[in-house]
Protein backbone atom coordinates (compact mmCIF):
# COMPACT_ATOMS: atom_id res chain seq x y z
CA UNK A 1 0.00 0.00 0.00
CA UNK A 2 1.22 3.46 -0.90
CA UNK A 3 -1.61 5.70 0.28
CA UNK A 4 -4.22 4.99 2.96
CA UNK A 5 -7.07 6.79 4.62
CA UNK A 6 -7.12 6.16 8.36
CA UNK A 7 -10.50 6.72 10.02
CA UNK A 8 -10.25 7.27 13.76
CA UNK A 9 -13.49 7.00 15.67
CA UNK A 10 -14.10 9.96 17.98
CA UNK A 11 -15.25 7.53 20.65
CA UNK A 12 -12.01 5.53 20.45
CA UNK A 13 -9.97 8.74 20.86
CA UNK A 14 -11.82 9.52 24.07
CA UNK A 15 -10.65 6.23 25.62
CA UNK A 16 -12.48 5.22 28.80
CA UNK A 17 -13.74 8.76 29.36
CA UNK A 18 -16.13 8.40 26.36
CA UNK A 19 -16.02 12.16 25.83
CA UNK A 20 -13.30 14.67 24.91
CA UNK A 21 -9.81 13.27 24.28
CA UNK A 22 -7.65 10.72 25.98
CA UNK A 23 -4.23 12.36 25.59
CA UNK A 24 -2.31 9.06 25.78
CA UNK A 25 -4.48 7.41 23.08
CA UNK A 26 -3.99 10.37 20.71
CA UNK A 27 -0.23 10.50 21.37
CA UNK A 28 0.06 6.77 20.75
CA UNK A 29 -1.87 6.99 17.46
CA UNK A 30 0.53 9.79 16.45
CA UNK A 31 3.59 7.69 17.37
CA UNK A 32 2.35 4.74 15.30
CA UNK A 33 1.41 6.85 12.27
CA UNK A 34 4.85 8.51 12.39
CA UNK A 35 6.53 5.11 12.04
CA UNK A 36 4.50 4.46 8.90
CA UNK A 37 5.05 7.94 7.44
CA UNK A 38 8.78 7.56 8.07
CA UNK A 39 8.66 4.34 6.04
CA UNK A 40 7.10 6.27 3.13
CA UNK A 41 3.39 5.50 3.55
CA UNK A 42 1.05 8.38 2.66
CA UNK A 43 -1.58 8.85 5.36
CA UNK A 44 -4.80 10.85 5.24
CA UNK A 45 -7.07 10.99 8.28
CA UNK A 46 -10.78 11.41 8.98
CA UNK A 47 -11.99 11.63 12.58
CA UNK A 48 -15.53 11.01 13.80
CA UNK A 49 -17.32 13.34 16.19
CA UNK A 50 -18.93 10.89 18.60
CA UNK A 51 -16.74 12.03 21.51
CA UNK A 52 -18.50 15.43 21.34
CA UNK A 53 -21.76 15.36 19.45
CA UNK A 54 -23.96 13.26 17.17
CA UNK A 55 -26.58 15.09 15.11
CA UNK A 56 -29.11 12.27 15.01
CA UNK A 57 -29.28 11.88 18.78
CA UNK A 58 -30.17 15.51 19.44
CA UNK A 59 -33.92 15.25 19.08
CA UNK A 60 -34.82 18.63 20.50
CA UNK A 61 -33.37 20.64 17.62
CA UNK A 62 -33.61 20.83 13.84
CA UNK A 63 -31.48 18.04 12.31
CA UNK A 64 -29.58 20.25 9.88
CA UNK A 65 -28.44 22.51 12.74
CA UNK A 66 -27.58 19.53 14.94
CA UNK A 67 -25.51 18.11 12.08
CA UNK A 68 -23.67 21.42 11.67
CA UNK A 69 -22.59 21.14 15.31
CA UNK A 70 -21.50 17.55 14.60
CA UNK A 71 -19.39 18.68 11.64
CA UNK A 72 -17.78 21.38 13.78
CA UNK A 73 -17.03 18.71 16.41
CA UNK A 74 -15.01 16.84 13.79
CA UNK A 75 -13.09 20.06 13.05
CA UNK A 76 -12.18 20.37 16.73
CA UNK A 77 -11.07 16.75 16.74
CA UNK A 78 -8.85 17.26 13.71
CA UNK A 79 -7.28 20.42 15.13
CA UNK A 80 -6.50 18.59 18.38
CA UNK A 81 -5.16 15.41 16.79
CA UNK A 82 -3.17 17.23 14.11
CA UNK A 83 -1.47 19.16 16.89
CA UNK A 84 -0.60 15.85 18.61
CA UNK A 85 0.83 14.69 15.28
CA UNK A 86 2.95 17.84 14.99
CA UNK A 87 4.23 17.31 18.52
CA UNK A 88 5.23 13.80 17.41
CA UNK A 89 7.29 15.34 14.58
CA UNK A 90 5.01 15.16 11.52
CA UNK A 91 3.89 17.93 9.20
CA UNK A 92 0.13 18.22 8.86
CA UNK A 93 -2.58 20.03 6.88
CA UNK A 94 -6.23 20.24 7.93
CA UNK A 95 -8.83 20.58 5.17
CA UNK A 96 -12.54 21.33 5.49
CA UNK A 97 -15.25 21.37 2.79
CA UNK A 98 -16.41 24.79 4.10
CA UNK A 99 -14.51 27.94 5.02
CA UNK A 100 -13.25 27.89 8.61
CA UNK A 101 -11.29 31.14 8.56
CA UNK A 102 -7.59 30.65 9.17
CA UNK A 103 -8.12 27.44 11.15
CA UNK A 104 -8.18 25.12 8.14
CA UNK A 105 -7.74 25.10 4.38
CA UNK A 106 -10.59 24.64 1.93
CA UNK A 107 -10.49 21.05 0.60
CA UNK A 108 -9.21 20.42 -2.90
CA UNK A 109 -8.10 17.03 -4.14
CA UNK A 110 -5.07 18.52 -5.87
CA UNK A 111 -3.84 20.33 -2.75
CA UNK A 112 -4.41 17.26 -0.58
CA UNK A 113 -2.57 14.91 -2.95
CA UNK A 114 0.32 17.38 -3.26
CA UNK A 115 0.61 17.54 0.53
CA UNK A 116 0.55 13.72 0.74
CA UNK A 117 3.25 13.49 -1.92
CA UNK A 118 5.32 15.87 0.22
CA UNK A 119 5.05 13.44 3.15
CA UNK A 120 2.53 15.51 5.13
CA UNK A 121 -0.34 13.88 7.00
CA UNK A 122 -3.59 15.42 5.78
CA UNK A 123 -6.75 15.64 7.88
CA UNK A 124 -10.17 15.83 6.26
CA UNK A 125 -12.28 17.63 8.86
CA UNK A 126 -15.92 18.74 8.69
CA UNK A 127 -17.23 15.54 7.10
CA UNK A 128 -18.79 16.00 3.67
CA UNK A 129 -19.97 19.50 4.63
CA UNK A 130 -23.60 18.34 4.35
CA UNK A 131 -26.16 17.30 6.94
CA UNK A 132 -27.62 13.77 6.93
CA UNK A 133 -24.20 12.37 6.05
CA UNK A 134 -21.58 10.98 8.41
CA UNK A 135 -17.83 10.82 8.74
CA UNK A 136 -18.12 7.25 7.38
CA UNK A 137 -19.46 8.74 4.16
CA UNK A 138 -16.76 11.40 4.22
CA UNK A 139 -14.17 8.64 4.70
CA UNK A 140 -15.42 6.69 1.69
CA UNK A 141 -15.73 9.82 -0.44
CA UNK A 142 -12.28 11.22 0.36
CA UNK A 143 -10.57 7.80 0.10
CA UNK A 144 -12.04 7.35 -3.37
CA UNK A 145 -11.21 10.93 -4.38
CA UNK A 146 -7.55 10.76 -3.34
CA UNK A 147 -7.27 7.25 -4.85
CA UNK A 148 -6.27 5.62 -1.58
CA UNK A 149 -5.38 1.92 -1.69
CA UNK A 150 -7.54 1.14 1.34
CA UNK A 151 -9.43 2.56 4.29
CA UNK A 152 -8.04 1.66 7.71
CA UNK A 153 -10.90 1.78 10.18
CA UNK A 154 -9.70 2.23 13.78
CA UNK A 155 -12.61 1.62 16.10
CA UNK A 156 -13.34 1.06 19.77
CA UNK A 157 -14.11 -2.58 18.81
CA UNK A 158 -11.37 -4.84 17.36
CA UNK A 159 -12.97 -6.06 14.12
CA UNK A 160 -16.19 -7.16 12.45
CA UNK A 161 -18.40 -9.64 14.35
CA UNK A 162 -21.46 -11.61 13.26
CA UNK A 163 -23.40 -9.93 16.08
CA UNK A 164 -22.71 -7.28 18.71
CA UNK A 165 -20.14 -8.74 21.18
CA UNK A 166 -21.37 -6.29 23.84
CA UNK A 167 -24.78 -8.00 23.69
CA UNK A 168 -23.92 -11.56 22.56
CA UNK A 169 -20.98 -13.19 24.36
CA UNK A 170 -20.83 -15.89 21.64
CA UNK A 171 -20.36 -13.34 18.85
CA UNK A 172 -17.75 -14.51 16.32
CA UNK A 173 -15.16 -12.20 14.76
CA UNK A 174 -14.44 -12.50 11.03
CA UNK A 175 -10.84 -12.53 9.76
CA UNK A 176 -12.12 -11.56 6.35
CA UNK A 177 -15.51 -10.80 4.83
CA UNK A 178 -16.68 -9.30 1.55
CA UNK A 179 -18.30 -5.88 1.29
CA UNK A 180 -21.38 -7.56 -0.21
CA UNK A 181 -21.71 -9.81 2.85
CA UNK A 182 -21.41 -6.75 5.09
CA UNK A 183 -24.23 -5.19 3.11
CA UNK A 184 -26.44 -8.32 2.94
CA UNK A 185 -26.04 -9.11 6.64
CA UNK A 186 -26.45 -5.43 7.63
CA UNK A 187 -23.33 -5.71 9.81
CA UNK A 188 -23.04 -1.94 10.21
CA UNK A 189 -19.24 -1.80 9.91
CA UNK A 190 -19.66 1.56 8.25
CA UNK A 191 -23.02 3.11 7.46
CA UNK A 192 -25.06 1.99 4.47
CA UNK A 193 -24.27 4.95 2.21
CA UNK A 194 -20.53 4.52 2.82
CA UNK A 195 -20.73 0.74 2.31
CA UNK A 196 -22.37 1.18 -1.08
CA UNK A 197 -19.82 3.81 -2.11
CA UNK A 198 -16.97 1.44 -1.17
CA UNK A 199 -18.64 -1.43 -3.02
CA UNK A 200 -19.23 0.59 -6.19
CA UNK A 201 -15.73 2.03 -6.19
CA UNK A 202 -13.87 -1.10 -5.05
CA UNK A 203 -12.44 0.43 -1.88
CA UNK A 204 -11.39 -2.25 0.66
CA UNK A 205 -11.39 -1.79 4.43
CA UNK A 206 -9.25 -3.05 7.28
CA UNK A 207 -11.13 -2.85 10.59
CA UNK A 208 -9.27 -2.99 13.91
CA UNK A 209 -9.25 -1.76 17.51
CA UNK A 210 -7.45 1.52 18.12
CA UNK A 211 -6.88 0.61 21.75
CA UNK A 212 -5.07 -2.62 20.95
CA UNK A 213 -1.31 -2.23 21.35
CA UNK A 214 0.48 -1.19 18.12
CA UNK A 215 -2.64 -2.01 16.07
CA UNK A 216 -1.89 0.53 13.30
CA UNK A 217 1.75 -0.52 12.96
CA UNK A 218 0.87 -4.23 13.11
CA UNK A 219 -1.60 -3.85 10.29
CA UNK A 220 1.09 -2.54 7.97
CA UNK A 221 3.54 -5.26 9.10
CA UNK A 222 1.03 -7.97 8.19
CA UNK A 223 0.48 -8.86 11.86
CA UNK A 224 -3.16 -7.92 11.69
CA UNK A 225 -5.68 -9.02 14.30
CA UNK A 226 -8.77 -7.29 12.90
CA UNK A 227 -11.04 -7.95 9.92
CA UNK A 228 -10.36 -7.36 6.22
CA UNK A 229 -13.42 -6.29 4.23
CA UNK A 230 -12.64 -7.16 0.63
CA UNK A 231 -14.23 -5.86 -2.59
N1 LIG B 1 -21.92 15.06 10.22
C2 LIG B 1 -22.68 15.56 9.17
N3 LIG B 1 -22.21 15.41 7.89
C4 LIG B 1 -21.06 14.79 7.59
C5 LIG B 1 -20.29 14.25 8.67
C6 LIG B 1 -20.74 14.41 9.97
O7 LIG B 1 -23.73 16.13 9.38
O8 LIG B 1 -20.70 14.69 6.40
C9 LIG B 1 -22.35 15.30 11.62
C10 LIG B 1 -23.48 14.39 12.10
O11 LIG B 1 -24.30 15.16 12.96
C12 LIG B 1 -22.75 13.31 12.91
C13 LIG B 1 -21.63 14.12 13.54
O14 LIG B 1 -21.27 15.07 12.52
O15 LIG B 1 -23.59 12.74 13.90
C16 LIG B 1 -20.42 13.34 13.94
O17 LIG B 1 -19.98 12.52 12.86
P18 LIG B 1 -19.85 10.93 13.01
O19 LIG B 1 -19.73 10.36 11.68
O20 LIG B 1 -18.84 10.64 14.05
O21 LIG B 1 -21.25 10.59 13.63
P22 LIG B 1 -22.07 9.28 13.80
O23 LIG B 1 -22.02 8.48 12.52
O24 LIG B 1 -21.44 8.56 14.95
O25 LIG B 1 -23.44 9.87 14.09
Is 48 marked as a binding-site residue? no
Is 193 marked as a binding-site residue? no
Domain that holds residue 25: 3-230
| pLDDT-derived band at 68, boundaries 50, 70, 90 | very high
- pTM, two decimals, is 0.95
| Protein residue whose Cα sits closest to atom 25 of ligand 1 | 54
CATH number of 21's domain: 3.40.1160.10
Question: How far, in Å, is the centroid of ligand 1 from the Cα of 47?
Answer: 10
pLDDT tens per residue, range 145-157: 999 999 999 988 8
Report the nearest atom of ligand 1 relative to the CA of 132. 7
Is 226 marked as a binding-site residue? no
Q: Which of residues 221 and 172 earns the better pLDDT score?
A: 172
Dihedral sign from CA coordinates of 33, 154, 194, 220? positive
Q: Report angle CA 88, 93, 95 to the nearest 5 degrees.
A: 140
> Which among 47, 154, 143 is positioned nearest to 104, based on CA atoms?
47
Angle between helices 135-145 and 192-200 (to 10 degrees): 20
Question: How far, in Å, is the centroid of ligand 1 from the Cα of 198?
Answer: 18
Q: Which of residues 92 and 211 earns the better pLDDT score?
A: 92
Question: How far, in Å, is the centroid of ligand 1 from the Cα of 159?
Answer: 21
Total count of domains within the chain: 1
Q: Where are the alpha helices (DSSP H) in the chain?
A: 10-14, 23-38, 63-87, 109-117, 135-145, 179-184, 192-200, 215-221
Give residue 58's pLDDT: 77
| Site residues for ligand 1, CB cut-off 6 Å | 10, 48-50, 54-56, 66-67, 70-71, 73-74, 127-128, 130-131, 133-138
Q: How far apart are CA 50 and CA 73, in angstroms?
A: 8
Is 161 marked as a binding-site residue? yes
Amino acid sequence: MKRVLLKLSGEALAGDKKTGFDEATCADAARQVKTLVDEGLQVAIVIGGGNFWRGRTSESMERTKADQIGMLATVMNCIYVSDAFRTAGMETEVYTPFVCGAFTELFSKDKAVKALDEGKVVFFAGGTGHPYFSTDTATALRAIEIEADAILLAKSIDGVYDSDPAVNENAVKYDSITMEEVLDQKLGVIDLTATIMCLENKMPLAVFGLNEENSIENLMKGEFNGTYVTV
